[in-house]
Amino acid sequence: MKQVLIIMMTLFIGFHNPMEEKFQRVITGKITGADDGLPLPQVTVLLKGTTLGTTTNKDGKFSIRVPDTGSVLVFRFLGYITQEIKVGQSNTLNVMLAPDAVSLAEVVVTGVQSNSRRSRRRSNSLAQANVEYEVDMASMPSPAYKKSVYFDSYRPSNESYKKIDENGFKSPWKNPYSTLSIDVDAASYSNVRRFINAGQLPPKDAVKIEEMINYFNYDYESPKGKHPFGVEHEVSLAPWNEDHKLVHVGIQGEKIEMDNLPASNIVFLIDVSGSMGNHNKLPLLKKSFKLLINELRRKDRVAMVVYAGAAGEVLESTPGNEKKKILKALDKLNAGGSTAGGAGIQLAYKIAKENFIEGGNNRVILATDGDFNVGASSDDDMESLIENQRKSGVFLTVLGYGMGNYKDSKMEVLADKGNGNHAYIDNILEAKKVLVKEFGGTLFTIAKDVKIQVEFNPATVQAYRLIGYENRRLNDEDFNNDKKDAGELGSGHSVAALYEVIPVGVESNFKPLDDLKYRQKKKIELSGNESDLMTVKLRYKKPDEDKSIYLDTVVKNDVMKIGKTSNNFRWSAAVAGFGMLLRDSDYSNGLKFDAVIRLAKAAKGEDEEGYRAELIKLVEMAELLGEGE
């Protein structure tokens, strides 16, 4: 058990051991998969016989200190054959790991009861399993959990996710509009990655397809004209159902260079309650915030509030160039006590308003596992509290940490109601992506209350289905209501929304309603307009204004072969397909993991950061974890 826990910890952070200081030799290298040559991120690299270890980065690279002679390195990664390699004279060691489907057959399962066809098939093929635990979750996972050999003690029993009822097909005769708030959150993807890297398929309600799609950047054209974002669209066939069409609507936010970004007034609101004591919570949080602190400028200001049994200010608002002072306050933080989240939020907003910068970026950054249990703690209480605070012009960013106790449902409420965004930090590389590489998009809002309303042409559309965004749907009348809150778009952010469409005249098993008997005359009148598929309408507000701005674009009924579409289209379709498989979607229509992998590989593009290669690996791992269905 002790060895298993050691391996578990190394998947999130490297180890520190006093002996390490005696090891002066540094071994570096790159680990790739022998099957496809792609880099393997988050491979565990251990110095045999010690507790010293590290993990590979997104490019599959690692660095580790070892003694001068006699060192043996152990390379472990779920679904691949473990290798032990003796270090030679060279300080460079590149390794290729071979897939090992057999090892995954030994990964044990639990007996979660489910009525889904997926769970029944799996339970029959894994009858030899002898490990059980109870899952005390409001949202039960459709797939039975598979237990990782690395995470033998891990139980996600106290995690909570808001229930997602998958969008079904609607008729444009009865429901001509699809109205939604945009979503730039990407927390679901990194959370799903955490589950799969732990050797488990995620709970269904942890899989938010729109957040998985929007985790990735897309190669849209920069916006032109007076609006701070541009809108693009493509239409092709749905990869999982060639009788249906798939429509990709993309929005690209204007990117503002760092030097031109306005001054920031930031309040760090840090959860230091007892539940934050694990290594992948407060210690990882500190490392994450140090990355952000290094990005601050002289004109920026930072204050720091912590909360546990009570809330308090541990750093007054301080110029961003006084980094030693800020870092010193951060380093002193320790975990302990209960979680007075409501009091902490109130204090953080109070300090942010006291130091408000006109025309600047005024923001509270909340970092927590979401476990509020003292004071205002229910989702309704938090929603009311944040709604009252957002009127001050202070925006909110929510960063989630940890596993086993992660409260995604609360985090989502806070981010949605606080004119902000939500990210899940499962490792230091994700922290770098969110807080350094995407600094502008995470912290600087260029448009708020961004809403989309799509009107479908019943002359060409028999039925339509929005993929994902279940928790972001709005009432149709909300589109023109400027008092209705919606999503925010950050500098350089891109957003995609996908619609699956059943064309008129197609016989489909997914047709929602029979034809309406008494509207035949209206159909005849509409039959002349067969050139339009739908009209996409948008409303948004400037960050410091309360009146919305309107624009629209028409999507023509022109269909490209999927091989002629852009990487943007094919990649988003592949990610959507992956999410549908993880959710055991009623609309996946026999889609297989290998089809998703082929589509993703064909759309990977340059992938300078390696994020797309990582997703392909996750799909491959999920396929292996799902064997035996």
Given this model, what pLDDT does residue 93 score? 93
588 within domain boundaries: yes
Helix (H, G, I), strand (E, B) or coil at 402: coil
d(CA 278, CA 13): 11
The model carries a pTM of: 0.74
* CATH code: domain of residue 93: 2.60.40.1120
How many structural domains comprise the chain? Answer: 3
Regions of the chain where pLDDT drops below 50 = 1-21, 102-155, 374, 628-629
Q: Are residues 197 and 283 in the same domain?
A: no
Q: Which of 235, 214, 37, 237 is nearest to 575 (CA)?
A: 214
Tokens coding 42 = 């988050």
Q: DSSP letters of 65-89?
A: EE-SSS-EEEEE-TTB--EEEE--S
CA 46 to chain centre: 29
Asked whether the beta carbons of 421 and 490 are under 8 A apart, the reply is yes
pLDDT digits (tens, 9 = 90+) for 2-15: 444 444 444 444 44
Given this model, what pLDDT does residue 124 score? 34
CA atoms within 13 A on the CB side of 56: 30
Given this model, what pLDDT does residue 526 score? 56
Q: What is the largest CA-CA distance in the chain?
A: 87
Q: Are residues 393 and 506 in the same domain?
A: no
Given this model, what pLDDT does residue 310 score? 67
Given this model, what pLDDT does residue 527 score? 54
Q: Are residues 461 and 597 in the same domain?
A: yes
Domain containing 212 equals 177-256+447-625
437 within domain boundaries: no
What's at 129, amino acid-wise?
A
Kindly give, in sequence order, each residue whose CB lies less than 8 Å from that of residue 502, ignoring residues fewer than 6 positions away: 169, 243, 244, 245, 461, 462, 463, 464, 508, 510, 511
Q: Are residues 238 and 281 in the same domain?
A: no
What's at 14, amino acid-wise?
G
Other Cβ atoms within 10 Å of 428 Cβ, number: 18
d(CA 437, CA 260): 16
Which of 99, 117, 138 delimits the end of a domain?
99
- Neighbour-count burial for 522-534, b at 16+ CB within 10 Å, e otherwise: eeeebeeeeebbb
Q: Are residues 507 and 541 in the same domain?
A: yes
Given this model, what pLDDT does residue 314 score? 92
374 within domain boundaries: yes
Kindly give, in sequence order, each residue whose CB lies less than 8 Å from that of residue 303, ignoring residues fewer than 6 positions away: 266, 267, 268, 313, 315, 316, 317, 318, 351, 352, 355
Tokens coding 173 = 């005769």
d(CA 610, CA 217): 12
Residue whose tokens read 């390696």: 610
Which of 84, 99, 114 delimits the end of a domain?
99
Q: DSSP letters of 208-264?
A: -HHHHHTTS---PPPP-SSSSEEEEEEEEEETTEEEEEEEEEEEEEPP--GGGSPPE
135 within domain boundaries: no
E strand or H helix at 572, and its extent? helix 567-582
Q: Are residues 56 and 194 in the same domain?
A: no
Q: DSSP letters of 501-543?
A: EEETT---TT--SPPPGGGHHHHHHHTT--SEEEEEEEEEE-T
Given this model, what pLDDT does residue 373 score? 57
d(CA 602, CA 596): 10
Given this model, what pLDDT does residue 148 score? 34
Given this model, what pLDDT does residue 558 score? 92
* Eight-state DSSP code of residue 469: -
Q: Are residues 279 and 421 in the same domain?
A: yes
Q: Are residues 487 and 621 in the same domain?
A: yes
Which of 99, 127, 154 delimits the end of a domain?
99
Q: Are residues 214 and 296 in the same domain?
A: no
Asked whether the beta carbons of 33 and 617 are under 8 A apart, the reply is yes
d(CA 157, CA 141): 11
Kindly give, in sequence order, each residue whose CB lies less than 8 Å from that of residue 354, ignoring residues fewer than 6 positions away: 317
616 within domain boundaries: yes
d(CA 104, CA 82): 12
Beta bridge partners of 495: 251
Edge-first strand listing for the sheet containing 395-401: 311-319, 301-307, 264-271, 361-368, 395-401, 421-425
171 within domain boundaries: no
d(CA 410, CA 417): 11
Q: Are residues 236 and 284 in the same domain?
A: no
* Eight-state DSSP code of residue 332: T
Given this model, what pLDDT does residue 522 score? 58
Q: Are residues 576 and 476 in the same domain?
A: yes
* CATH code: domain of residue 203: 2.60.40.1230
111 within domain boundaries: no
Q: Are residues 463 and 594 in the same domain?
A: yes
Other Cβ atoms within 10 Å of 545 Cβ, number: 12
* CATH code: domain of residue 395: 3.40.50.410
* Eight-state DSSP code of residue 439: H
522 within domain boundaries: yes
